Amino acid sequence: MPRAVHVLAVGIFAMVTSEFAVAGLMPQMADGLGVGIPQIGYLITAFAVAMSAGGPFLAFAVLRLRQKHALMLLFGIFLAGNVLAALAPDYGVMLAARIVTGVASQAFFGVAVSLCVRLARPEVRGRAIALAMNGLMLGTLLGLPLSTVVGEHLGWRAAFWVISGLAVLAALATLVGVPREVRAEGGGVRAELAGFRNPRLWLVLSTSTLIIGATFSAFSYFHPILTEVTGFDSGTVPLLLIGYGAATVIGNAVVGRLADRHTLVVQLVGLALNFLFLAGFAVLAQLAVPAVLLMTGIGLVGVTMNPAMVTRVQRASGAGPLVNTVHSSFITLGVIVGSSAGGLAINSYGLRAPLWLGAGLAALGLLTLLPDLRRRSGPVSAAAPGRLGPEPNALRAEVVEGPEGACLARS
């Protein structure tokens, strides 16, 4: 595996640590900025909305650059946003800083994933994406606790300085470890935009939104569910969440191994299992052992679908940075929908409601796979030239569709 793929994981780790930092620093930030906890919570929402809505525009703006140059520019914008957050004199400046870092993070994800595909051999692209996505999983597992510990001992501003330091280290590693000559894949701006005319792409993107929405409708409320329904004390929950994070690392590695050859099957099995785990958790949340096992199962088959999700999107519309950034925006939309709808469900139906909501979103995700399942059972045609399409050594034929609706065959 190219060294650059591991380097990109470090950059993603820095971005994800910044994204989650506010969640662990709420009381300190509220006191320091003179606002209430709900206002600090809006900073999390603002970051997510900036990622979803602004990231694709920034990715489009850097589309003509060599991908290494684009990454360095995005590191610069991200670093500026974190420094601004560390120095923020009031809530308005902090809000602006979170918007800047959110937009830069989303564009970085898109360019980084596109670069992974360019650097890896066709038969191991899913594994390369999984390695890069380890930065996301480790950001969840280690980044949030790191920023929380720093904030508790040195103050919340110190946490943003530490994240800024991580960004500098990741940028230096990128400067040394990423090849200079790599250009974006996809044939330029027009070719990237043409991919969005493919109706199948939007269906594939909706699958990713539903996979992540199903997971985050539950994940966002694990703490109150585990304490108020299952009966764990607050001190135990962080340990359980570390176990959940470890499950995501394992699941990501497994999916990365399977994503290239069994993309559709991985998503089908993953969504079906997530439906069962979420529904089972909703029914058995009052029992400690089943609750922990089912929560761990959600970790294994939830956000870990990322390598398969990315592979399927790229087969629908190429591997360019813009389509990958838009895909990341749809993933972030899943976070927003799952967490916000879960909160509304709690208000109306209680703490088990987000788990039932997640099961419902997983079921909808299964429905979005039906057109591809029907297409896969149909006749296999020759691959159209110039697409991400055929990969050597595949064990089974799988029909996918290109940007103009042409069928691509893997055999």
Q: b vs e for 63-93, b when ≥16 Cβ sit within 10 Å of the residue's Cβ?
A: bebbbbebbebbbebbbbbbbbbbebeebee
Distance from CA of residue 263 to its chain's centroid? 17
- Give the number of other CB atoms < 10 A from CB of residue 404: 12
Instruction: Kindly report the pTM of this predicted structure.
Output: 0.76
* Domain range annotation of the chain: 1-184, 196-378
Quickly list DSSP for 268-332.
Answer: HHHHHHHHHHHHHHHHHTTSHHHHHHHHHHHHHHSGGGHHHHHHHHHHHH-S-HHHHHHHHHHHH
pLDDT of residue 165: 94
pLDDT of residue 183: 52
- Give the number of other CB atoms < 10 A from CB of residue 227: 15
Q: Where are the alpha helices (DSSP H) in 88-124?
A: 91-119
The yes/no answer on whether domain 1-184 falls in CATH 1.20.1250.20 is yes
Residue type, 369: L
Q: What is the DSSP code (8-state) at residue 261? A: T
pLDDT of residue 199: 86
- 196-378 shares the fold of 1-184: yes
In words, the CATH class of domain 196-378 is mainly alpha
Averaged in consecutive runs of 10 residues, what is the pLDDT profile of the chain (411 residues)? 83 88 82 84 84 86 84 95 95 95 90 82 76 78 79 90 94 87 56 78 94 90 89 85 87 88 93 97 97 96 90 79 84 87 87 95 96 74 38 35 33 28
- The answer to whether 163 and 278 are in contact (CB under 8 A) is no
pLDDT of residue 404: 32
- At what angle are helices 263-284 and 353-368 packed, to 10 degrees? 160
Q: In the block, which residue shows the tokens 């939830």?
A: 302
pLDDT of residue 193: 74
pLDDT of residue 23: 74
* CA terminus-to-terminus distance, the chain: 23
pLDDT of residue 264: 93
